[in-house]
Amino acid sequence: MKFKDYYEILGVERGAAQDDIKRAYRKLARKYHPDVSKAPDAEVRFKELGEAYAVLKDAEKRAAYDQMGSQWKTGQDFQPPPDWNAGFEFSGRDATSGDGQGGDFSDFFEALFGRQSGRARGPRHAMHVQGQDHHAKVLIDLADAYLGARRTISLRMPTIDAGGHVVTQERKLDVTIPKGIRPGQHLRLAGQGAPGIGEGPSGDLYLEIAFLEHRHFRVDGADVYLDLPLAPWEAALGASVTVPTPEGKVQLTVPPGSAAGRRLRLKGKGIPGNPSGDMYAVLTIALPAADTESAKDAYRAMAKAFDFNPRADLLG
C-alpha cells in the first residue's frame, strides 16, 4: 500500500496549529462536498479530507502518525510494524467531528489505526512509541573547538500542549563542546528530543555545529586561514613576524621575494584532531600612506630606483 500524507491532503504544514488544521479542513470540505462540488473526484477527495482530519485533529493520533510519517514520502510503499495499531480503536461515529465527514477510511488508515467498525485489531493495550528526534544548529566560538568548552544553549522546540496545539517551548540545555569539533559535525544528546507515547522513550536531539564569524580567522574543515598583511620591504627582503593563532601568538618566517596571495603553512595549528588541521597565513601587501611630504618623497625615490611596470604582462 502507498503512504498517504495527511498534511498534504489538507494543504497545511507539518507543524501547523490545530486551529489551522481545522480551518483548512472546513474550507476544503465545503469545496469538495459531493452535494455541492461538480468535480469528478469530489467524493474521493471528501473522504480523504475526512480521513486526514480524523487523525490530525487528535493530539495522540497525530503524534503517532508524525512518528511513522517521518520515515515515508507520499506514494512510497508503506508497511506499519506488527501490532502498531493495537492501542487505538475507531468507529464510524468516532471519526465524525460535527464537521460532516464520515468514517469511510482507506486501507492505509486501517493499517495505522485499526478497522473502522468496532475495536482495533488485536487486544487493546497502551501504545508505546519512541519520540521523534529533533535537530538544531548551534553557533560556537572557534576557541571552543581548540580548547573544548561547556555552554548553556537556548532552543525553541515544537511540542504539543494539553489542548493538542503545536506550540514552541524554550529549553535551556548544558552542552559539552568537545575539543576538536568541526563545522558540520553533530552532537547527539540522548533523550532530549520529543517525548515518547505511552512508555516509549524520548527521541534524541542532534546539534549541528557551526562557528561564529571571527574577525581574523576563516575555517575550512579542520584548516584555519588568516590574511597576514606585510609591508613591501618585509615581502621583498624577508622577515620574521609575529602571527596570532587561536591558541596564541607564534613567530613566522617570511621568505624573501614573497608575493601577495602566497600561503605559508603552520603545520598542526588548525583545529585539533587526529590528525590536526593546519593553519595558513595568506600574504597580503599593505602600503604605507603617502600622507606627508617625506612619505611622498620616499615613494618618488622608489619610482626612480626601480625599473618596474606592474602592468607589463597586461600590455604584452
Q: Quick check: pTM over 0.75?
A: no
Tell whether 184 is covered by a domain: yes
Which residue's C-alpha cell is 600561503? 263
Q: With the CA atoms of 195, 197, 199 and 204 taken in that order, what torsion angle do they form, in degrees rounded to the nearest 10?
A: -30
Statement to judge: residues 266 and 205 lie in one domain: no
The pLDDT of residue 96 is 42
Specify the CATH number for the domain of residue 49.
Answer: 1.10.287.110
Of 186, 211, 236, which marks where a domain is finished?
Answer: 211
Statement to judge: residues 203 and 251 lie in one domain: no
Statement to judge: residues 183 and 249 lie in one domain: no
| Antiparallel, parallel or unpaired: β 205-211 and 217-220 | unpaired
Statement to judge: residues 232 and 275 lie in one domain: yes
Statement to judge: residues 107 and 163 lie in one domain: no
* Residue-number span of the structural domain to which 233 is assigned: 224-287
Tell whether 294 is covered by a domain: no
Each of the 316 residues of the chain gets a pLDDT tens digit; together they read: 677 788 888 999 888 888 889 999 999 988 988 888 888 888 888 988 988 888 888 777 787 777 665 555 565 566 555 555 544 555 444 444 444 444 566 667 666 665 543 333 444 445 566 777 888 888 999 999 999 999 888 877 766 666 656 677 788 889 999 999 999 999 999 988 877 766 778 888 899 999 999 999 999 999 999 999 999 999 999 999 999 999 999 999 999 999 999 999 999 999 999 999 999 999 999 999 999 999 999 999 999 999 888 888 887 6
Tell whether 271 is covered by a domain: yes
Statement to judge: residues 153 and 106 lie in one domain: no
Statement to judge: residues 92 and 190 lie in one domain: no
Which residue's C-alpha cell is 604605507? 288
The pLDDT of residue 84 is 52
Distance CA 38, CA 53 (A): 22
Tell whether 219 is covered by a domain: no
Specify the CATH number for the domain of residue 260.
Answer: 2.60.260.20
Statement to judge: residues 180 and 251 lie in one domain: no
Q: Quick one: which of 135, 68, 63, 57 has its CA closest to 96?
A: 57
Tell whether 304 is covered by a domain: no
Of 64, 83, 113, which marks where a domain is finished?
Answer: 113
Statement to judge: residues 45 and 68 lie in one domain: yes
Statement to judge: residues 85 and 20 lie in one domain: yes
Distance CA 300, CA 90 (A): 93
Number of domains in the chain: 3
Tell whether 173 is covered by a domain: yes
Statement to judge: residues 106 and 168 lie in one domain: no
Tell whether 300 is covered by a domain: no
Statement to judge: residues 93 and 179 lie in one domain: no
